[in-house]
Amino acid sequence: MRTLPLLLLLALMTGCSEYDPAAHEAEVLEWREARLAELTAEDSWLTLVNYQVLWNNPMTMGSRQGMNIAVPRGPEMLGMFVNDGLTDSTAAEEAWWFYGSAPTTADGVEMTEPVPAISDSGAVRFRQDGLTWFVRRFQDQYAVRVIDNRASLRTDFPGLEYYPVNPEWRLYARYEPYDPPKRFPVAIYTGGDVLEESPGRVTFSVAGEEYALDVTDTSETGYFVIFSDETNNESTYPAGRYVWFDKPLGSAGPVILDFNKSYNPPCAFTEFATCPLPPRSHHIDARIEAGELRFRKPV
């Protein structure tokens, strides 16, 4: 993600309204290229081919019909996850072990014996001929996420479509931190919700209406928000979209919120992703005709 040029931020602070349409369009086009490269990279969201909660003990895995954890290709029996004699799927992840039945590596090392799903450095990545799988905890459950870098959605990806770059949706906004951070529930695509902690909010105006979106993720240079608007279910993804914006110079201050860089959540591409959805308070009562359009899988 690109940090706003210092001169632009200074211009914001002094109320200067200089705007270079050509530079803005070039910036958005560069962002689109980076977005596509990230989305089609190895181990990206397009490579997800299964997400299976560990509900049984053991959990068999392979390409043969009837496996608890199905994979699209490869050995009929890859192996199984065993929970150290326990049957409770909410038991500590350290209890889950993988017993291989086909040549497999665990964090790059050839397996010669069962390997715990979680090591001191985190989730172990098991690999076999382009397939990758690992255990993760989500909403007090443990599940196996399966990745296939040869998945047709990745290898034959048709690309992304966008609204034309529109300077009207490059908004002057303001970031305001919370003290203490705000905690609030966020719904998840697969069901239920999670309690998010927000360090602050971004405020802005659309068609004379004031809006405030709570930040739900951060990076070294930016903040992340989720939102919905009146284009959802028509030209954009029904559940809403995401957008990042660069941090202000200080703990609070002016920022640029550019909806031309809004994009679809992973769930727009695969049913195996777990995506946060915008709360009702994050709905913008306007048609934000900017950013990424709804993805429609090839028939």
Smallest CA-to-CA distance from 71 within 80, 63, 60, 59 is with 63
CA dihedral (68, 69, 73, 78) positive or negative? negative
Q: Answer with the residue of higher pLDDT: 17 or 214.
A: 214
* pLDDT recorded at residue 17: 53
Q: Mind listing the pLDDT tens digit for each residue in 236-260?
A: 999 999 999 999 999 999 999 999 9
Q: Mind listing the pLDDT tens digit for each residue in 111-159?
A: 999 999 988 888 999 999 999 999 998 777 889 999 999 999 999 999 9
Burial class of residue 127 in the structure, from the number of CB atoms within 10 Å of its CB (0-12 exposed, 13-18 middle, 19+ buried): middle
Q: Give the CATH architecture of domain 45-155.
A: Sandwich (2.60)
* pLDDT recorded at residue 297: 84
Smallest CA-to-CA distance from 49 within 147, 187, 177 is with 147
> Residue 10's pLDDT band (boundaries 50, 70, 90)?
very low
- Long-range Cβ contact pairs of 36-41 (< 8 A, separation 24 or more): 36/159, 36/160, 39/157, 39/160, 39/269, 40/154, 40/157
Integer Cα distance of 20 and 185 in angstroms: 39
**Residue 91: pLDDT over 60:** no
* pLDDT recorded at residue 6: 40
* pLDDT recorded at residue 85: 56
Question: Under 8 Å CB-to-CB from 113, ≥6 apart: which residues?
Answer: none
Q: Which residues of 235-266 are buried (b: 16+ CB within 10 A; e: fewer)?
A: ebbebbbbbbbbbbeeeeebbbbbbbbbbbbb
* pLDDT recorded at residue 295: 97
Smallest CA-to-CA distance from 262 within 21, 32, 14 is with 32
**Residue 15: pLDDT over 70:** no
Integer Cα distance of 160 and 75 in angstroms: 34
* pLDDT recorded at residue 14: 39
**Residue 7: pLDDT over 50:** no
Q: Give me the chain's average pLDDT, please.
A: 90
CA dihedral (28, 30, 33, 39) positive or negative? negative
Q: Do the beta carbons of residue 96 and residue 116 sit within 8 Å? A: yes
Integer Cα distance of 109 and 112 in angstroms: 9
Query: Domain map of the chain by residue range?
Result: 6-40+159-284, 45-155
